[in-house]
Structure 1
Amino acid sequence: MANRDRGDRILTDWNLVFDALADPSRRYVLEYLHDRSVPVSVWELAIALAVRTTDRPPNQVDIQVVEQAETGIVHVHLPKLEAANLVKSNGETLELTDHAETLPLFTPAYRGIVRPLESEERSDWEP
């Protein structure tokens, strides 16, 4: 019975990881944090997400778009990423957990999980 409980817990953990990875904004958050060597403020991450979403330079993104991104990070994305043990926060800054670093999310073989392949790099079998 103990093995089954352990297996159910592991399955639940992977379900949380897959749920966290299901959203492109959360994958971008993971990529952004992975590319930084220091913890990142929620506001900095909100600006980066707003820039990505609007495809405008940071000084041309409307403050309301940044505030909406911040709200999404705090109330939607961060809870899912924390539940999957991929991101940790101290209330001011965010960073990847050691657990996230051990998953094959950022290795070249799994590059497409968090950092999708560019269109010219896609294989012939994709539609």
Structure 2
Amino acid sequence: MAKRDRSDRILTDWDRVFDALSDPSRRYVLEYLHDRTEPASVWDLAVALAVRTTDLPPDEVDLQVVEQAEVGIVHVHLPKLQAADLVEAAGEGVSLTEHAETLPLFTPSYRGVVRPVGDEEEPREP
């Protein structure tokens, strides 16, 4: 019986991961956090998400759009990402969990999971 309980728990955990990855905004939050060396504030995530959705520079994005993104992050996206054990919030900062780092989301062959193919940045010259 214990084996079945463990299998059910593993499937539930994967269901949460797939649910979290089903939304492009959440995938972008994961990508954004992965590309940083320090935790990000919710406001930084909201600005980044607003820039991403509007294709405007940060200083041209309407404050209301950033505030709407912040509400979505706080009330929808972070709870789903936390339920899947992909992000953790400590104080004012949000960062990836060790669990998220162990998933093949950020390896070259799976990069398309969080960053759609063709959406890569141009290589920078040294």
How high is the TM-score relative to the length of structure 2? 0.92
2:49 aligned residue:
49
* Post-superposition offset of 1:92: 1.2
> Matched residues in 2 for 1:119 and 1:18: separation?
21
Q: Is 2:58 the counterpart of 1:58?
A: yes
Moved over 2 A (4+): none
* Post-superposition offset of 1:91: 4.3
Q: Deviations over 1:40-94 (max 9, x none)?
A: 0000110000000110000000000000000000000000000000000024110
% of aligned pairs identical? 76
| Matching of residues 88-103 of structure 1 within 5 Å | 88-103=88-103
How high is the TM-score relative to the length of structure 1? 0.92
One-letter identity of the residue aligned with 2:13? D
Structure 2 residue ranges without an equivalent (≥5)? 121-126
| Matching of residues 1-127 of structure 1 within 5 Å | 1-118=1-118
Change in CA separation of 1:52 and 1:108 when aligned onto 2, cut-off 3 Å: same
Structure 1 residue ranges without an equivalent (≥5)? 121-127
Aligned length: 120
> Matched residues in 2 for 1:13 and 1:64: separation?
35
Change in CA separation of 1:14 and 1:54 when aligned onto 2, cut-off 3 Å: same
